[in-house]
A and B are shown apart, each in its own frame.
Chain A
Amino acid sequence: MTDVLVCLKRVPDAAGEITLSGDSMSIDARHVGYTVSAHEEAAVELAVQIADETGGSATAVSLGSGDAVEQLRNALAVGCSAAVLLEADAEAYGPADVAEALAAVVRDHAANGTTYDLLLLGNDAADSGDFQVPIRLAYALDRPVVTGISTVEIEGDHVTARGRGTEGPEIYEVPLPAVVAVMEGGVSPRYPSIRGRMKAKKVKIDQSEPSLQPAGNGRIKLVLPPAAPSKVEILGEGPEAATAVVDLLVRLGVAR
Chain B
Amino acid sequence: MSTLVLVETDADGVAETSGEALTFARGLGDPVRALVIGELSEAVTSQLSDYGVEAVHHANGPAFETYAAAAWAAAVVAAARETDAGVVLASGTPRGMEAMAHSAVRLGASMAANTVEAVSRHPMVVNRQVLGGSVLEQMQVDGDIAVLTVAGHACEAVPADAPTTPAISTLEVEVPESDLIAKVVRTEPGEPDESGGLKAARVVVGGGRGTGGPDGFGDLTELAELLGGVVGVTRVVTSLGWRPHAEQVGQTGSRISPELYIPCGISGAIQHWAGCSSAKTILAINTEADAPMVTKAHYAVIGDLHEVLPAINEELRRRRG
Asked if B316 is at the interface of the complex by the 8 Å CB criterion, the answer is yes
> Does the CB pair A239–B316 fall under 8 Å?
no
Residues of A within 8 A of B170 (CB): none
Asked if A147 contacts B69 (CB within 8 A), the reply is yes
Which one, B24-32, B51-59, B97-105, is touching chain A?
B97-105
Chain B CB within 8 A of A164 CB: yes
Q: A132-B113, A148-B98, A245-B283 are in contact. Are A165 and B302 (CB under 8 A)?
A: no
Interface of A, helix, strand, loop or mixed by DSSP: mixed
Give the CA-CA distance A135 to B97 in the complex, in Å: 10
Query: What 1/0 mask marks residues of chain A from 213 to 251 whose CB sits below 8 Å from any chain B CB?
Result: 000011111111100101111111111111111101100
A34 located at the interface, meaning its Cβ lies under 8 Å from any Cβ of chain B in the complex: no
Q: Does B191 contact A (CB under 8 A)?
A: yes
The answer to whether the Cβ of A10 comes within 8 Å of any Cβ in the partner chain is no
A232 touches B297 (CB 8 A): yes
Chain B contacts for A168, CB-based, 8 A: 187-193
Q: Is B195 an interface residue (CB 8 A)?
A: yes
- Cβ of A184: which chain B residues have Cβ within 8 Å of it? 245, 252
Within 8 Å of chain B (Cβ to Cβ): is A166?
yes
**Residues of A with C-beta under 8 A to B238:** 185
**Contact of A252 with B259 in the complex, beta carbons under 8 Å:** yes
Of A139, A185, A228, which is within 8 A of B296 by CB? A228
- B130:A128 contact, CB within 8 angstroms: yes
Of the listed residues A95, A219, A232, A240, the one surrounded by the most CB atoms of chain B closer than 10 A to its CB is A232
On whether the beta carbons of A234 and B137 are closer than 8 Å, the reply is: no
Min CB distance A163 to B, Å, is 8
Q: Is B139 positioned at the interface, with any CB of A under 8 Å from its CB? A: yes
A18 neighbours in B (Cβ, 8 Å)? 131, 134-135, 270
On whether the beta carbons of A135 and B105 are closer than 8 Å, the reply is: yes
Task: Tell yes or no: A9 within 8 A of B by CB.
Answer: no
Q: Does B295 contact A (CB under 8 A)?
A: yes
Q: Are B187 and A218 in contact (CB under 8 A)?
A: no
Report if A218-B142 is in contact (Cβ < 8 Å); known contacts: A129-B114, A185-B245, A254-B203: yes
Distance between Cα atoms of A222 and B310 in the complex (Å): 44
Indicate with 1 or 0, residue by residue over A135-162, a CB within 8 angstroms of chain B CB atoms: 1100100001111100000000000000
Q: Mark B204-248, 1 if CB is under 8 A from A, else 0.
A: 000000000000000000000011110000010010010001101
Contact A188 B241 (CB under 8 A): yes
Q: Can you list 21 A-B contacts with CB-CB less than 8 angstroms, sorted by A residue number?
A: A14-B271, A16-B270, A37-B252, A129-B131, A131-B98, A135-B101, A148-B94, A164-B193, A167-B187, A167-B196, A168-B191, A168-B192, A170-B186, A173-B185, A185-B245, A218-B112, A222-B136, A230-B295, A232-B299, A235-B299, A245-B283
- A residues near B, CB below 8 A? 12, 14-16, 18, 20, 27, 37-39, 94-96, 124, 126-132, 135-136, 139, 144-148, 163-175, 178, 183-185, 188, 217-225, 228, 230-246, 248-249, 252-256
| Chain B contacts to A: CB under 8 angstroms | 10, 67, 69, 92, 94, 97-98, 101-102, 104-105, 110-114, 125, 127-132, 134-142, 149, 181-193, 195-196, 202-203, 226-229, 235, 238, 241, 245-246, 248, 251-252, 259-260, 269-271, 281, 283-284, 289, 294-304, 307-308, 310-312, 314-316, 319-320
